[in-house]
Structure 1
Amino acid sequence: MTTTSNVNSNSAVNDALKGGSSSAADLQNNFLKMLVTQMNNQDPLNPMDNAQLTSQLAQISTVSGLQTMNETLTALLSQTAASRAMDSANLIGKTVMVPGNAITVADGVATKIGVDVPSTADSVTVQVLDKNGNVVRNIDMKGQTAGVHDIAWDGKNDQGNAVPNGEYTFKVSGTAEGKDVSAIALVYGKVQSISGDSTGVLVELGDGKTANVDDVRRIS
């Protein structure tokens, strides 16, 4: 008589969980077909015992339940993302501070910039660089408490002369007892619109610049 080996329950569960494209009903139907085939072809002298049958039925119940839970969680996450996008629409027209390092100087006036200091720092320094990467201004902010701080740059170089109009970048650094505190450079931008992608809800700041809404440090 032809016999088949027992259904490997753990393997079936793992395969089912990896196969996210299958529905809970499909998983259950496929598992039951395998189980019926096994029972029809089992060795009558060594039949499947009740404990084994109960265990395998429990396994498919677990798979079905987990698959249904995954689908429910996915739906909830989608609804949450949509709700967050709607809530974030209130940011349109507001000015926000987000991570970035670009500065524009026009008519001797530089765009506003800032720094996020994660923990109290003994020293915070800023370097402004031109388009060629040359440092044009060093700013010593001295010690700063943890939090978001504006950086005062008057658009002048270290010699006190106004820098040419154009695009610049800046770097920030902070230390506490000689250790880096991972200061983060921030820029201001006016929110033009709200969008979303796989990373979450995004604020559109114009000129192709975007930032995740979770990265907004200040709203004004």
Structure 2
Amino acid sequence: MTTTSSVNSNSGTSGINDALKSGSASAADLQNNFLTMLVTQMNNQDPLNPMDNSQLTSQLAQISTVSSMQTMNATLNQLLGQVSASRAMDSAALIGHTVMVPGSQVSVKDGVPGKIGVDLPSTADAVTVNVIDKDGNVVRTIDMKGQTAGVHDIAWDGKNDAGTAVADGDYSFKVNATANGNSVQPVALVFGKVQSISGDSTGVLVDIGNGQTAGVDDVRRIL
């Protein structure tokens, strides 16, 4: 008498379900595993307890969905790569132009300071700028009074609070802006000439020299 072994479809499908949840298998692997399981079940099923067709159909639909999603992800990644390359090419037009980007470092050369600015997300009733030397001392405080939302230039003539020209070198500056006593989160800005365009995992970057880079989306003004 020939004995027919019983193959439990639950044990086979559970393995595929686990792979689906963990993402440990590719769509091709899942399809191969499913077909192997299906053929094994058909060859070894118990005639008195046949496999559940609806469950297998449901599992096949899941595998088809995973395969479609992986194909879609690959296509989207290709499109994102093309968009990124296109943006880098478009951004190359910025080379040689002076731009305003987030930053807080400013240099003074021959008594002339670099241009600086501020981006106010909302209207501020008080805006002050502190210019700080390399030793951490505040050498100049600039009162810009109230300002509307937007990008504004900061007028610094390269002198300290006593009206004396500061020494050439590197300085930093900090902007404080408040409305009704609360900070409006101002963004300090610096000017620089774009030397080159590059890219990393965060997107397209503009290099304005002296080791300073900024995302192309952070450019506030182009001169």
Cα distance change, pair 211–41 in 1 and its aligned pair in 2 (3 A): farther
Q: Distance in 2 between matches of 1:47 and 1:6?
A: 14
Structure 2 counterpart of 1:7: 13
Structure 2 counterpart of 1:77: 80
Secondary structure of the residue that 2:157 maps to in structure 1?
coil
Counterpart code for 1:50:
N
Cα distance change, pair 47–6 in 1 and its aligned pair in 2 (3 A): farther
Structure 1 counterpart of 2:122: 119
For the pair 1:218 / 2:221, whether they are aligned, the reply is: yes
For the pair 1:56 / 2:62, whether they are aligned, the reply is: no
Secondary structure of the residue that 2:165 maps to in structure 1?
coil
Q: Distance in 1 between matches of 2:22 and 2:38?
A: 16
Which aligned segments of 4 or more residues in structure 1 are displaced greater than 4 angstroms? Answer: 38-44
State the TM-score, normalizing by the size of structure 1.
0.91
Instruction: Compute the RMSD of aligned alpha carbons.
Output: 1.8
1:176 pairs with one of 170, 174, 179: 179
Cα distance change, pair 54–176 in 1 and its aligned pair in 2 (3 A): same
Q: Which runs of 5+ in 2 are unaligned?
A: none
Q: Distance in 2 between matches of 1:74 and 1:12?
A: 23
Q: Distance in 2 between matches of 1:200 and 1:99?
A: 16
Q: Distance in 2 between matches of 1:58 and 1:40?
A: 22
Q: What is the aligned residue count?
A: 216
Counterpart code for 2:106:
I
Structure 2 counterpart of 1:208: 211
Write out aligned runs for 1:81-92 (5 A): 81-92=84-95
Query: 67-76 or 1-10: which moved more?
Result: 1-10
Q: Which has the greater radius of gyration? A: 2
Secondary structure of the residue that 2:197 maps to in structure 1?
strand
Counterpart code for 1:106:
K
Secondary structure of the residue that 1:70 maps to in structure 2?
helix
2:155 pairs with one of 137, 152, 159: 152
Q: Distance in 1 between matches of 2:52 and 2:219?
A: 61
% of aligned pairs identical?
A: 72
Secondary structure of the residue that 2:136 maps to in structure 1?
coil
Write out aligned runs for 1:91-102 (5 A): 91-102=94-105
Quote how far apart the aligned CAs of 1:206 are.
1.6
Quote how far apart the aligned CAs of 1:10 are.
4.0
Structure 2 counterpart of 1:46: 49
Q: Distance in 2 between matches of 1:56 and 1:196?
A: 42
Counterpart code for 2:62:
Q
Q: Which runs of 5+ in 1 are unaligned?
A: none
Q: Distance in 1 between matches of 2:204 and 2:34?
A: 40
Cα distance change, pair 134–7 in 1 and its aligned pair in 2 (3 A): same
Query: 102-111 or 42-51: which moved more?
Result: 42-51
In the alignment, is the contact (CA less than 8 A) between 1:99 and 1:187 conserved in 2?
Answer: yes
Structure 1 counterpart of 2:169: 166
Quote how far apart the aligned CAs of 1:29 are.
2.4
For the pair 1:142 / 2:145, whether they are aligned, the reply is: yes
